[in-house]
Structures are given as C-alpha cells and as structure tokens.
Amino acid sequence: MFGAVAELTIIDGKQAEFEAVAKELEAAVAANEPGVLYYKLFKVKDAPTTYIFMEQYADQAAVDAHRGFEHFKRLGKAMGPFLAAPPKVTRMDKVQ
C-alpha cells in the first residue's frame, strides 16, 4: 500500500476557483479509480492559501494509472493557473 501527500500553495484570491476544480478532481478519482483508496482535499488551518491532497493507493499499479487518467491530466492542467508554486509531493510506503 502506498500513500502520498501533495501540498499546494494557491495564489491568494484564487482559492474558490481552485477548490471548484480540485473538488471535481476528487470526485472523478472516486468515481473512476478503484485502486485509489483515499483521495481527499484539505485546507490547512490558519494558512488560507495552503491545501493538502491526502492520497492512499492499493498498489503501485494504481499509483501509475492515476497519472494516466484523462480526468487527472485535464483537471491537473486546469489547476495550474491557480498555483503560486509547484506542488510539494511526499510519497510514502505503508509500514507493514
């Protein structure tokens, strides 16, 4: 089992637009990617422009497939204009 945390810093004033696209991505992943066990967006308290995607995958195949889905490519590109910096992604292995 694999996990990831993606931290995104959004341009101030663009939060609502970002959230709309990010929530669409969250829903598309839930509806179309059975190997993704958890994929949720969070807003960091006391940091109005910082968001976290928390992710959990069943296996490496699910991780690899995630990046190839049309909805991921399309919505990831749509989020780009709202980013103040490149996402910081931490990838993890589940402790067995």
| Strand pairing report for 88-93 and 50-57 | unpaired
Asked whether the predicted pLDDT for residue 96 surpasses 90, the reply is no
Domain annotation covers residue 1 = no
| Strand pairing report for 50-57 and 36-43 | antiparallel
Domain annotation covers residue 27 = yes
Domain total of the chain: 1
3-state SS class at 62? helix
Domain annotation covers residue 8 = no
Domain annotation covers residue 34 = yes
Asked whether the predicted pLDDT for residue 23 surpasses 90, the reply is yes
Domain annotation covers residue 77 = yes
**What CATH number does residue 66 fall under?**
3.30.70.100
pLDDT category at 5 given cuts 50, 70, 90 is very high
For the entire predicted model, the pTM comes to 0.92
Domain that holds residue 44: 13-87
CA distance linking residue 50 with residue 7, whole number of Å: 7
Domain annotation covers residue 20 = yes
Query: What average pLDDT does the segment 18-25 reach?
Result: 97
Q: What is the DSSP letter of 83?
A: B
